[in-house]
Amino acid sequence: MAITVRRRRTMHPITHYWGLVKDMDDRQKLQLVTMLVESVKPAKAEAKKKLNACDYAGIWSDEEYMDAEELAKEIHDARCYNPKRDEFLEKYFTEP
């Protein structure tokens, strides 16, 4: 039993896999080889296309469109003002 365990540990992985595939027919072996070769090929780098403004035409919805003035008002109205902040700044950051 100890000899069998030692052989398993020293057996090369390729030898193990060859034992699995050596009895396959040639068609299956060729298919396996093709799959293995494809798995190690580097991924094809896609050519990077330089983008321009035309590439973005029509991707925004016009249903939620608002003028710049409306947007500025929305942002201004959404601001939170904390009067305690001014007290804090005056207390700790003004010169005596």
Q: How far is CA 48 from the centre of its chain?
A: 17
> Does 27 score more than 90 pLDDT?
yes
What letter would DSSP give residue 15? Answer: H
Distance CA 21, CA 35 (A): 14
On whether the CB atoms of residues 21 and 32 are closer than 8 A, the answer is yes
User: What is this structure's pTM?
Assistant: 0.35
Residues 53-67 have a mean pLDDT of: 76
- The residue among 9 and 94 whose pLDDT is bigger is 94
> Does 6 score more than 60 pLDDT?
no
Distance CA 57, CA 71 (A): 21
